[in-house]
Homo-oligomer: A and B are copies of this chain.
Amino acid sequence: MSRRVTMADVAREAGVSLMTVSRVINNKEGISDATRRRIQLIIDRLGYRPSDIARGLVTNRTGTLGLVVPDNANPFFSEVARGAEHVAYAAGYNVFLCNTEEDKSREMAVMRSLEEKRVDGVILCSSRLEEHDLKRALAFHPASVLINRQLHEEDVGIVLIADERGGRMATEHLIRSGHRCIGMLAGPEDSYSGQQRIRGYRAALADAGITCDQVLTPPCPPKVNPGKEAAINLLTARPDITALFCYNDLVAVGALQACMELGRRVPDDCAIVGYDDIPLAVLVTPPLTTCHVPRYELGSRAMELLLSRTEHNKPQIKSGHVVLQPELMIRASAP
């Protein structure tokens, strides 16, 4: 490929000025249909592609957004991403999907890189950053939305799951089934949603007059194998536990495997409740009782919020604060 076709090439070929070509490209008014068609033909023939780079330099907008998630391989986040991307594409935006791999310093690095790319806005999902760093990371972005993370700050949209309520529902379900010694595999300690779920868990126990025990809520990375390990440790240390509430479905699947390995039958010897309701939840044996979370909607709502903050012609979405409700799905792992 010799040299890229530029607007000037098209203009010369058509015998018009740059502006005329520019107007055709951007579908602006004030061009006769005849010239418009003629120029479009030349554009197609030459294979001209407008440069978003050059355009971005002058308009100060890139048509690009950032979406930062802890782990793209987790079906929870890939579905959130689907929701967000769908809305973004429909509005003509592209999105950088960035993985932090549950790592704070990578999260900071990613945010900086997105700044340098001059994205028009960012969605930060389940950020693990401390408040100070988070504010700094957001400050230089033209618009931003948080998912699964609270922050007291004007100018940032927030989309949350009612996780305390979810944690409470899950735990109450286990209590109603007669369980009195309920452990929780609590997920990452710096996860906001994890903290909320624990609150719900504790509140439910307290309401039932069951004394809480710190030992019963060990943290763990939110994946299958760490969940399995944590479950083995907890169930070995505390054989009196008859039920486990898990930070998410991946951890719950790990717990399932742990029970199998320990010779504990699910749900008879140990009931298990997950969180998220990812597709995997109904594919394992027994199927997981879990808190359903509207994952796609989490992403799409966040993106709508972001776009409304980005495109000033659109009516700003009234509330910058959306709370979505979880729903308990009762299946065989904790009937």
Contacts and interface: CB of A to CB of B under 8 A. Distances in A.
Contact of A99 (B53, B73, B85, B285): B85
A115 interface: yes
A140 B47 contact: yes
A155 B21 CA distance: 32
A195 interface: no
Given A94-B117, A116-B50, A140-B49, A82 B57 contact: no
B62 A53 contact: yes
Contact of A116 (B47, B49, B85): B49
Interface in A34-78: 47, 49-54, 56-57, 62, 64, 72-73, 75, 78
A105 interface: no
A117 B64 contact: yes
How many protomers of this protein does the assembly include? 2
Contact of A279 (B96, B140, B224): B224
Given A51-B116, A53-B62, A116-B51, A78 B73 contact: yes
Contacts of A317: none
Interface residues of A, number: 42
A215 interface: no
A72 B64 contact: no
A118 B51 contact: yes
A309 B64 CA distance: 26
A79 B85 CA distance: 19
Interface of A: 1, 47, 49-54, 56-57, 62, 64, 72-73, 75, 78-79, 81-82, 85, 94-99, 112-113, 115-118, 139-140, 142, 224, 253, 279-280, 283-285
11 contacts: A1-B140, A50-B116, A51-B116, A51-B118, A53-B57, A54-B57, A73-B79, A73-B82, A85-B99, A224-B283, A253-B283
